[in-house]
């Protein structure tokens, strides 16, 4: 018989980790909707969010909140640089999606190696945002950092929904997602929307990295696992559906938590791949259906 307290505790942790996967998955969806590109450098944005915040906070003495804001803006700018230097030349030459995927994978490796050279290979962490004793519901303890992760994720989802539905820029990005050629004929600057999608996706990745670093650690090589999990979340939710990616991330986090309790911690990635395979076989369009 499982330890039900341990199971409940693991599920709480799984929800918080799933929210991070969901934010990374949304980053995939934002870029895919604007351009049809699958950006496998998304994990680098998560890593940079934690690394830059740590560097500003621990080394430069910048207050935590300001360090997080500056890190998010810096990573968003890095997303634009990635789009301009790596993606845009291929886009202008009508390169295939496969070539663009390989290019973003190469960019991920370059960013990892540069981070290793600049900050070293030692794991780094951040203090929790609220340093208080965890809340208790029965025998289950819920740390305040978990509440920060879940609460911030829900706020971001709400803000993104309002952005895409109520602002001119958001509507322009949605138009590009529906039909880029028609959007261009209507005077929408499609190339600018592409750069903006990379900036927004990078900012989402950075926020995810900042939120999760106090509960785990960050290092030059943490990006790829987050990228893979976020990609799986996006597929499970219905590729191109931001809210679906968020739901897919939570489902993935819960599946990994259950695998840790009933199987072994080393099998949590097997659980994630099992969820992916089940959806590919049973419902390949994902929870909400793939974006048209």
Tens-level pLDDT at each residue, the chain (292 residues): 456 777 888 888 889 999 999 999 999 988 887 777 888 889 999 999 999 999 999 888 899 999 999 999 999 999 999 999 988 888 888 788 888 888 999 999 999 999 999 998 899 999 998 888 888 887 888 888 999 999 999 999 999 888 888 888 888 887 777 777 777 777 788 788 888 999 999 999 999 999 999 988 889 989 888 998 999 998 888 877 888 889 999 999 998 888 888 877 667 778 778 888 888 788 877 776 655 5
CB 205 within 8 A of CB 23: yes
In a domain? residue 147:
yes
Asked whether residue 70 is assigned to any structural domain, the reply reads: yes
Residue 11 lies in a domain: yes
CA distance 74 to 215: 22
Q: Which helix (H) or strand (E) segment is 142 a member of?
A: strand 140-142
The answer to whether 22 and 149 have CB atoms below 8 angstroms apart is no
The pTM assigned to this predicted structure is 0.91
What's the pLDDT tens digit per position in 50-98? 999 999 998 888 999 999 999 999 999 999 999 999 888 888 887 888 8
**Per-residue confidence (pLDDT) for residue 148, from 0 to 100:** 93
Domain residue limits at 40:
4-129+141-282
* Pairwise CA distance, residues 44 & 108, whole Å: 6
Cβ contacts of 167 within 8 Å, gap of 6 or more? none
Which H or E element spans position 105?
helix 97-119
**Residue 288 falls inside a structural domain:** no
Q: Which residues does residue 93 pair with via DSSP β-bridges, in sequence order?
A: none
Residue 287 lies in a domain: no
Residue 291 lies in a domain: no
Burial of 194 (0-12, 13-18, 19+ CB in 10 A): buried
Q: What is the CATH number for 97?
A: 1.10.3470
Sequence-separated (6 or more) residues with CB below 8 Å from residue 24: 42, 43, 46, 204, 205, 208, 226, 227, 229, 230, 233, 249
Check: CB of residue 80 under 8 Å from CB of residue 14.
Answer: no
Q: Does residue 96 lie in a domain region?
A: yes
User: If we measure between CA atoms, which residue out of 15, 41, 25, 60 comes closest to residue 223?
Assistant: 41
> How many structural domains are present in the chain?
1
Say if 289 falls within a structural domain. Answer: no
Phi, psi of 264 (to 5 degrees): -160, 150
Helix (H/G/I), strand (E/B), else coil: 140: strand
Q: Which helix (H) or strand (E) holds 52?
A: helix 42-54
Determine the 3-state secondary structure of 110 from DSSP. Answer: helix
Q: Return the pLDDT at 47.
A: 94
């Amino acid at each position: 018989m499982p330890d039900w307290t341990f199971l409940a505790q693991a599920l709480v942790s799984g929800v918080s980790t799933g929210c991070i996967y969901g934010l990374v998955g949304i980053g995939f969806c934002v870029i895919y909707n604007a351009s049809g590109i699958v950006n496998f450098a998304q994990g680098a944005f998560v890593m940079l969010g934690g690394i830059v915040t740590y560097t500003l906070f621990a080394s430069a003495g910048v207050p935590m909140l300001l360090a997080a804001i500056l890190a998010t803006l810096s990573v968003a700018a890095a997303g634009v640089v990635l789009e301009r230097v790596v993606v845009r030349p291929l886009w202008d030459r009508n390169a295939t999606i496969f070539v663009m995927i390989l290019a973003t994978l190469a960019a991920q490796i370059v960013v990892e190696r540069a981070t290793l050279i600049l900050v070293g290979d030692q794991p780094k962490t951040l203090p929790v945002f609220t340093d208080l004793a965890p809340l208790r519901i029965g025998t289950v303890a819920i740390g305040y950092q978990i509440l920060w992760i879940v609460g911030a994720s829900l706020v971001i989802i709400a803000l993104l929904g309002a952005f895409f539905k109520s602002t001119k820029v958001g509507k322009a990005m949605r138009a590009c997602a529906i039909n880029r050629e028609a959007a261009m004929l209507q005077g929408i600057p499609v190339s600018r929307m592409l750069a903006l999608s990379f900036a927004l996706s990078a900012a989402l990745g950075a926020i995810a990295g900042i939120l999760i670093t106090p509960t785990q650690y960050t290092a030059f090589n943490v990006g790829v696992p987050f990228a893979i999990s976020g990609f799986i979340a996006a597929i499970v939710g219905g590729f191109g559906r931001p809210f679906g990616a968020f739901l897919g991330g939570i489902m993935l986090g819960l599946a990994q938590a259950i695998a840790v309790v009933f199987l072994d911690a080393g099998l949590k990635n097997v659980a994630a791949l099992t969820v992916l395979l089940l959806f590919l076989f049973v419902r390949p369009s994902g929870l909400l259906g793939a974006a048209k």
